[in-house]
Structures are given as structure tokens and as C-alpha cells.
Structure 1
């Protein structure tokens, strides 16, 4: 299969913003607010005293003792509050069953048949289980996982409720207790139906109850914007404006989605789970685990769609079809969604290249 000039998939998972709040005897939703602190930072960076060639700068002894004034937003648990809550919603749609835009009818038919066969082989069940594991483990809390016991409660549009009493007793690769495994299986079945049935509209409401220490720090999403003007905080958090005018700190939806997509351990080494990415970006080390040279990138595998379709058809008659890790990875990327076409040929550029150089200079 060749990549088309137009080829795109809508994403299948739609997380909302995750909002932090706490409860009191009078109110079950009090927004957790950020505070602005002005601090005297230390001048302790390498460039303060050394050149890139590791030569010491010509500094007076007092130069490195001066403070570096900073204005930062920070977020802490209010005194006498024992639990912080974080809540978001998730919608799922069956958008990976076919492209939402494709310039080649033959490619459209091939990809649609590939998805239908993958579904018949039970491939979406494994992906649904992985997404639900991240939901139930609280992976979407990011740095806030490193705290006390955390309870996860999930209510779905199917009218069902699920609970994990303590995420600290579970791990991705560990053997889950029977009650937790049942929750995982039943929630995964709901998500599986949403990812495979276009007529199903499914959503879930997810809440984490985090046990906290006295006035401990909370880590919402950080906003990356223009350079702060004088008097503004250089580090600012993502926030949601509540009906009473106050602002609750939050995770943006992209950060929540990134956590749910931490399922790629199908790459060559597979020593850790990566966020689904066309080139297997490993943000910790700043490298691509699925570089084009490895032939494990999404595009290198995607053009072999005919081969994978034949492979799935061969496995389909078996009672427990075996599915290649590469196929799981391909559909995880399609669930993530995106534009997968190759760049269309620039006709204007090609035409310009045929014009004699003297003519171009005269026009310039």
C-alpha cells in the first residue's frame, strides 16, 4: 500500500480537562486554587559561572551570592484538608474503523477491511484493556501519583459504577486481585464496545480521591506561553473557571490523553511503556525508539497493510487468534488519530523549476 495525498483518522478517545478540588462539610466542590509566590532563587546554574567551554567566568566573589528574584505559581493542599479530588470525563467513538478522509478509494477499502478483520480477531479487546488499566491505575495523575492511597471511581453512560479502592496495591504488570481484575474486565468490555460499534455513544466520569499530607504540593499542568511580562508569574498553571468566578487548577486534556496512551511496549526493547507516537518518542531520553532506520515507525509498518490483512485472515479461523504486536501498535496510532498522508506534490514549485534562471532573476 502507498500512502495517499489525503489520509486522516479522527481520534477515538476524547478526554476532558481534569479538575482539582476538595470537599468540606458545607460544600462538596471547592476549587483547588493556585497561589502566586515571590521567591529569591539561587544563582546556581552552570552558565552562571562557566562558559560553554568549561572556562570559569571573570566574576567577583559576591556575584554568585546574589539572589535571582522569581515570581511563580504554586499549588498546595489547604490546611486541615485530608483528601484532594481530581475529576475528568472521557468519551469514546469508533473512529478507527475507517479513515475520515482518503483520496484513494482502493486504500480506503483496504484499511476498512483491515479494521473489520482486526475487530473480528478480538484485537480491540487488548487495546481497550490497556487504556482501562491506565484509567484504573491513575496514570493520568502523573506526579500526583506519588502520594498517599488513591481511590478511583468511574461512572459510565451505561449506568455502571466501578471502583479501585487503592491504586498503590496495583501495578501494570502485577497480578491483580480478583475484585480489581473484575472491574478491569467489565470496564474494558464497555470501552471495547464503544471503540468497535459506531452506533454506540459512550462516556465515563472518572474521579480520583487522593490521600494527602499536610499542605503538600500538587502538580497541575503547566502553561507554556509567551515570555512573562514584568510582574507576571514565569510559571503558570492550567486552570478552569468555576461558576463562582474562582479558578481551579487542572490538567489539560492533552496531558490526560497522553497518560491513557502510555501503552506502547511493542517496540524493539519494550523495557518500558511509551506514549503512542508515530516514531516512538521517548521523552525521558529524548530519542526516537521507532526511528525510520529501525523500520518500526508507524509509516514503515503502515505501508504493509496488505501483509497484515493477510496475516489476520489466516489467524481468524483459530479459536484464539494470535495478533502481531505491530498490528496492535498500528491500531493504537489510528485510535490516537492524525494526518498520515504523504505531502502532495507542489505543482507550483515544479512549474517554477522549469523557468529559466534569468527570468526568475528579472522577476525578482
Structure 2
């Protein structure tokens, strides 16, 4: 099946901002605020002493000892606070069941048939379990995962309440305790239902309680800005509270990126899950793990929809579903624009 000129999917997972705060005896919500510091940073870049060809510049030893004054933002836990809270909401919808936009009726029919069979064969169970694993592990906390212990609580729109007491005991491929495994199974079951039921949505509230060290540094989302004179060169994301105060946060996109870290199908020897992405971008290595030359990228695999449909019809258990099918469906759940460019015929 060739991809059509106009093909889009709406994302199935829609997180909100993850907001940081702390609690006191007087208030359940105190904004975690930024501080702006002016520092004298020593010159350390190669361009300070070498030209573009790698040749040393004519400099005196004193020139490299001078400091570069910088203005940066930072965020630390207040001295009298031992726990920091981070909370966000997540809405899950069954948007991968069919394209949002697709002008080719044949392509639409094939894609809808694929998702229908995938649901029947319990393929969404695997995706839901992976999303929920990242959720309960606190992957979405990024650099803030390293604490003295983090508890994560999840309340669902179905009225359920789930909790893991210490995320340090959880890992992507390691063994989970019986209690935490049961929590994962039950939470993933609710999410699976939301991914295949298009007449309702599922909303959850996720609340992490981070036991922190004394004045521990917190790492919110960083802004990408063109700063002017006198502005901080490094700035963090904030959001306004109801009383007009600001508190630091993660952008919704950063939370979503963490939940999407589920692709360990990119190789039989995959040593880590990548974010679900059309070309398997590995940011640590600045490398695409999925690309046309090895025929495992999304745009290559999407051509085999008819093959996947025949394969799913023969499946008798979720474990028999081919990894490429899981990967393709994870990209459709992620949502995006998948159409051909105008110059592609």
C-alpha cells in the first residue's frame, strides 16, 4: 500500500503540563519558584583558544583566565522542605482507530482494518502496558527521578486509585514486585479500553511525591529563547497559578515524549527503548535507528499494511503479534502528519 498525499492522525495520548509545588502546614500548594543568579563562568570552549581549523590562537595565558559573566536561572528545593510534588493530567482517546484526514478510501479502509484487528487481537494491551510502565516508573520526571524515594499516585476517571511507593525499585526491563506488577496490569487494562473505545475518553490525574535532599536542585523544562541584554541565558518554563504566582513546570510535550519512550522493537539487540518516532531518532547518539537503507522506518513499514492484516488474522494470542505491527501502531497513536510531499508523485 502506498501512502496517500493527505494522511493525518490525531494523537491518542494528550498530557497536560506537569506542575511542581510543595506543601506546608498552612497550604497544600505552594509554587516552586525560580531564582536568577549572576555567575562568573570560566572560559572553557574550544573556540576561546582555537580557530575553526583547530589551530591555536595567539593568546596570552591571561586571556584564558578571565571569566565570562553570565545570568542564569536555577530552581532549588527550599531549605525547610523535604518533599516536592509534581502533578499532571493525561487524556487518552481512541484516535488511532482511523485516520483523522485521508482522501484515499482504499488507504483509509486498510488502516481502519489494521487497527480493528489489532484491537481484536489485544495488541493495544502491549502499547498500554508500555505507556503505563513509563508513567509508574516516573520516566516523565526526567533528571528529577534521582531522589531519596518517589511515590506516584494515579487517580482515574473510572474512580480507580493506583500507587507505587518507590520508583527506584522499578525499571524498564527489570522484575517488578507482585504488588507493583498488579498495579501496572490493572492501570494498563483501563488504558487499553480507552485506546479501543471511541465513544468515550479516559482521564487520569498523576501525582508524584519526590523525597528530596537538602536544597536539592530541580530541573524543569528549559525554554528555547533568543535572550536579550540583561536576560538570563538559561531560562526554565513556568506556568501561572490561580493567584497570579508562577511555578516551574514541564511542558506537556516533554511529558508526552517520556510516555512515548516505548520503542525497543528497533533491533533484536535493542538495549534501550526509544521514543516512538518515524525514523527512530536516538538523541544520545544523534543517530536514526530506523531509516530507509535498512527498511525499518515507519514510511517503509506502512507499505506492508496488507501483509500485517493477513498476519493479524492468523494470530491467536497477543504475544504472536509481530514487533513491526506494534511499532506502526505506536506511531499512529503518537499522531502526526504522514502524507507524501508534493514532489513525491
Q: What range is the shorter-chain TM-score in?
A: over 0.9
Query: How much has 1:346 moved relative to structure 2?
Result: 9.2
Matches within 5 A, 1:233-312: 233-268=232-267, 269-312=269-312
How many residues in Structure 1 have an aligned counterpart in Structure 2? 344
**Normalising by structure 2, what TM-score?**
0.98
Q: Distance in 2 between matches of 1:67 and 1:175?
A: 49
Q: Distance in 1 between matches of 2:317 and 2:35?
A: 58
The answer on whether the counterparts of 1:18 and 1:252 sit within 8 Å (CA) in structure 2 is: yes
Question: Counterpart in 2 of 1:123?
Answer: 123
The answer on whether the counterparts of 1:124 and 1:192 sit within 8 Å (CA) in structure 2 is: yes
Question: Counterpart in 1 of 2:197?
Answer: 197
Query: Given the superposition, is the C-alpha separation of residues 84 and 185 from structure 1 closer, same or farther in structure 2, using an over 3 Å criterion?
Result: same
* 1:2-21 Cα deviation digits (max 9, x unpaired): 11111111000000000000
Question: Counterpart in 1 of 2:63?
Answer: 63
Unaligned runs of 5+ in 1: 348-364
Larger radius of gyration: 1
Q: Distance in 1 between matches of 2:276 and 2:112?
A: 21
Question: Counterpart in 1 of 2:322?
Answer: 324
Cα RMSD for the two superposed structures: 1.2
Q: Distance in 1 between matches of 2:329 and 2:58?
A: 57
* 1:96-140 Cα deviation digits (max 9, x unpaired): 000011010111111101110011111000000000000000000
Unaligned runs of 5+ in 2: none
Q: Distance in 1 between matches of 2:26 and 2:138?
A: 28
Secondary structure of 1:237's partner? coil
**Normalising by structure 1, what TM-score?**
0.93
The answer on whether the counterparts of 2:123 and 2:318 sit within 8 Å (CA) in structure 1 is: no
The answer on whether the counterparts of 1:140 and 1:259 sit within 8 Å (CA) in structure 2 is: yes
Query: Given the superposition, is the C-alpha separation of residues 301 and 320 from structure 1 closer, same or farther in structure 2, using an over 3 Å criterion?
Result: closer
Query: How much has 1:319 moved relative to structure 2?
Result: 5.0
Q: Distance in 2 between matches of 1:65 and 1:320?
A: 63
The answer on whether the counterparts of 1:193 and 1:200 sit within 8 Å (CA) in structure 2 is: no
